[in-house]
Structures are given as structure tokens and as C-alpha cells.
Amino acid sequence: MPYTDLRAFLSTLRQSGELVDLIRPIALQYDVAKALAKSSAADGPALMFKDNGTKFPLVAGIYGNRRRALLAFEATEETIHDRVSKAIDAPIGPIDFSGPPPCQDVVMTGDDVDLTKLPVPTYSPKDGGPYITAGIVVSEDPDTGIPDIGNYRFQLHDSRVLGVFSAPNHRFGKNMAKAIQRKVPLHGAIVIGVDPMMAFACQVQSGDASNDWFVAGGLRGEPVELTKCVTSDLKVPARAEFIIEFVVDSEDQREEGPLGEYTGYYTPAGPKPTAKVTAITHRQDAIFQGLLTGKPITENHVLKQIPFEASILRQLQTQFPTISDIAITSSGGVQVYVVIAMTPRYEGEARQAILAAMASNLHPKWVVVVDPDIDIRRSQEVEWAMSFRVKPREDVFVVDRTAAAPLDPYTDGGYSSAVGIDATRPFGAEFPDVSEVPDWRSFDLPEIERSR
């Protein structure tokens, strides 16, 4: 059965030893991030910060490793991409929630709105201030009314104002640009604390015409229950922990940033639009959610990886059916380094697949194609293929003036270049057999097991 809300997933994590409660005081400024970084480095559990200086517990790191991500999908490494691909192909539309929605158990508007009462951490020393990083933004295209949900960052300026940033090629950024052009207000809502499939649905790569509630419903296997906001006509998940309703103010530009971003580097500060908060609603005994971002690997990389891989794999397989797997590496920010496993059907097909991956909205700098016998999630195997199945003069090429990944700190004025490496065996030619010990994985060696 799918998880219906965040609490159901947290219960599973706690039962599995994947969630630990911290009951001692932990400061929101830097110490939350230190605790998350230390747990992540040890492949440790998610953390619930119960004493953080506010009345709301803060949970973070719940998607901090691939093990917990697979637990959220109730899948294995062998089934995950097929699970997500089939869900994308079977969208389920949302329904209206019946009765008073839990996300509006408590409603604060007007002078009661106070963002400073929420446990919003400051993650990195040079960050411009506290940041909401786990928020899912709901907005609508001003032209079509099609809803979009996506992860975007918000800097806390004061008790009722947030700084807004969205890359212009992302749908929220496009919605803001359209609203400015049409001179109409853009209403939005930051949704915090949702069931896992809704969080992963934000990362699925789809076109601007897609309705993300249908994508989330497909991943869940049942409809998302929505309810109307209290200060706008937007619809939001009824079982969310928090809803922060706002209106974008493009004229009130304030300094936003820096922030340690998914690239592992700080993005520079600069004037950005603001979000004027019109309401905060939440569940009784609500749980706030944080998300550590910065130098890979952090939680935001894990959160993106499975949906990115599954949706890009699905796109490429329509043209190249012998592609068996894809890895969009965390070390490359789940953006700029792509490894594809395929069996080329003709000379040059691997190069065609590389070009197709470069043309995707990932905008990668590096695309490597290997044979299916290579474990694409083990860097040493990929490097072995690149070392001994590549003639650099023939199999490595550069495409100039390609689109740059968002927030890449090293580009040529908004564009970049990309490297393709065909690390498959030469097509139609004899190649030495691999020297490998057979059946070693199934060999019984209890002495080693006992020593662990």
C-alpha cells in the first residue's frame, strides 16, 4: 500500500532503524547541518530534531541515501526504474478531499503569520540566512492554468517575507515570467511534509504541458487528495504538514543568497523577487521538514536521482531500445555526468545515444556509453571501460556551445560544451574475453562472514 502522508513513511523509517530522535537541544544555525552531514557521511539514519528552539519538531535526511529512497518506492535496484516508468505511463488524476483537510487544522492569516516561529535552518556558513529547502512549490501557468509542483529554495527575510529563486528554464520561473508579462499576480503555495511519492514526483522530467498531480497519482497508485488554499484558488495536498501561501512580488526585489547549492558551490547573492506570505496553515502537532544541500552527496541529490534516471531512461529507450540502464551520478550533481549501458546495434549508434542525452533537459557535460556488462553505478568499472575500450582519437568527441546545467559555476556566459565517450567494445570486431573469476558471488565462505 502507498504511504498516504509523511507520518506513515516516518513510522516505517523508525521501525526500520532509519530514523533517530534527537531530544537534546540542537541549534538551527549550522548545528542541524553538522548533524545531518555527519549522519550522511556514516550512511546513518534520518534525524528528528525535537528540541530546536521552536514548538515544531524538524525532520531531515529522510531521503538521505538510496536505501531509504528504495524503501519509499517499495522497490529494489532491479525493479525501481521499471516501477517508475510504468507509473509515469499510468497517470492518475487528483480528487478533492472530503471534509476538513488536516493541512488546515490550524490557520494563520494577517498579523498571525510569523515565519520565524518555524524551524528553518541555516545550513552553510556563507548562506544568506535561513532557507526553506524541502518545500514543494505549487503554482499555475498564467496562460493555461496547468499546475506545476517542484522543489525551489526560499530565503527567510523576515516574519512575512521570503526571497524567491527559480532558474528561468524551470516551470516556476516560467510562470513568474508570464505573470510579470501579463501584469497579473502569481499565487503560490509552499507545501512541506508530504508522502514520499509526491516528493519524488517533483523530480520527474516532463514537459510544460504535464499536470504534475497526475504524475504523483501514478507514482502513488491512487489519486492525490487536494484542497483549496485559504487565500487563493490554488489546490494543495490535504494531508501535508504545512502550507505556506504567498503572492510573488516582482517589484520588491531583495538581496537573496548566497546558498550552498547542488553543485557543491555557493551561488552568488543578488536581487530577487519576494514572496509575500498570505497564510500559514498546518496540521495539529505538525512536523516541519528540512533538507541538506551542498557538495555531493546530500539529500537533494538522492531525491532527484531515481526520478531523473527513470524518466530520462524512458525517453531514450523510445529511440534506442537496447539501452538497458542509465546512471546520472550524484557526484555530478545528478545533472552533468551521465553513464549509459547499451548494446549498439550498428556502428555509430552509441554516439547517437550520446547526442540524444546531451539534447535532454539535463544539459550534461559528460556522457559515457558502456556495454551492459559494466556496472554503471561503480565508478571503478566505468573507468575500466574508459581505460581499455576507448581509442581517444576515435571514441571521444566534444560538442561546443551546449546549454549549461542550472547554477553551473563554470560556463561560458550561459552555455558550455559537452564531452561524449563511446566506451563500448568496437562494433563488429574481435575483442579479448574478460578475465574474471566465475561464480565467486555464490561461493560459500563462512569464515569471512563470521569475521565481520
Residue 169: per-residue pLDDT? 79
High-pLDDT (> 70) share of the chain, %: 99
Q: Are residues 36 and 79 in the same domain?
A: yes
Please indicate whether residue 41 or residue 369 has the higher confidence score (pLDDT).
Answer: 369
> 104-135 in b/e burial notation, b at 16+ Cβ within 10 A?
beeeeeeeebebeebbbbbbbeebbbbbbbbb
* Domain harbouring 184, CATH code: 2.30.110.10
Q: Are residues 221 and 271 in the same domain?
A: yes
- C-alpha–C-alpha distance, residues 163 and 186, integer Å: 15
Write down the pTM of the prediction: 0.91
High-pLDDT (> 90) share of the chain, %: 76
With a cut of 70, say whether residue 1 has pLDDT above it.
no
Q: What is the CB neighbour count within 10 angstroms for residue 145?
A: 9
- C-alpha–C-alpha distance, residues 353 and 367, integer Å: 9
Total count of domains within the chain: 2
Q: Are residues 217 and 254 in the same domain?
A: yes
Query: What average pLDDT does the structure give for the chain?
Result: 93
Domain annotation covers residue 24? yes
Q: What is the pLDDT of residues 144-167, one digit of tens each?
A: 999 999 999 999 999 999 999 988
Q: Are residues 276 and 370 in the same domain?
A: no
- C-alpha–C-alpha distance, residues 236 and 281, integer Å: 11
With a cut of 80, say whether residue 207 has pLDDT above it.
no
Q: Are residues 206 and 100 in the same domain?
A: yes
Domain annotation covers residue 433? no
With a cut of 70, say whether residue 170 has pLDDT above it.
yes
**C-alpha grid cell, residue 289:** 521538514
Q: Which residue segment(s) compose the domain that 379 sits in?
A: 319-423
**C-alpha grid cell, residue 346:** 550498428
With a cut of 70, say whether residue 20 has pLDDT above it.
yes
User: DSSP per residue over 134-183, as a string?
Assistant: SPEEEEE-TTT--EEEEE-EEEEEETTEEEEE--TTSHHHHHHHHHHHHT
Domain annotation covers residue 334? yes
With a cut of 90, say whether residue 365 has pLDDT above it.
yes
Q: Are residues 286 and 346 in the same domain?
A: no
Domain annotation covers residue 147? yes
Q: Are residues 36 and 140 in the same domain?
A: yes
With a cut of 60, say whether residue 451 has pLDDT above it.
no
Q: What is the pLDDT of residues 250-307, one digit of tens each?
A: 899 999 999 998 888 999 999 999 999 999 999 999 999 999 988 888 898 999 999 9
Q: Are residues 285 and 345 in the same domain?
A: no
Domain annotation covers residue 407? yes
Beta strand 46-51 with 19-25: parallel, antiparallel or unpaired?
Answer: parallel
Q: Are residues 281 and 324 in the same domain?
A: no
Domain annotation covers residue 429? no
Report how far Cα 234 is from the mean position of its chain's Cα atoms: 23
Q: What is the pLDDT of residues 366-401, one digit of tens each?
A: 999 999 999 999 999 999 999 999 999 999 999 999
Name the pLDDT band for 35 (thresholds 50, 70, 90). very high
Q: Between 6-15 and 66-73, two packed helices, what is the crossing angle to 10 degrees?
A: 120
Q: Are residues 36 and 167 in the same domain?
A: yes
Q: Are residues 281 and 344 in the same domain?
A: no
Q: What is the pLDDT of residues 308-342, one digit of tens each?
A: 999 899 999 999 999 999 999 988 999 999 999 99
Name the pLDDT band for 206 (thresholds 50, 70, 90). confident
Residue 386: per-residue pLDDT? 97
Cell 545531518 locates to: 36
Q: What is the CB neighbour count within 10 angstroms for residue 57?
A: 18
Q: Are residues 101 and 159 in the same domain?
A: yes
* Domain harbouring 356, CATH code: 3.40.1670.10
Residue 271: per-residue pLDDT? 95
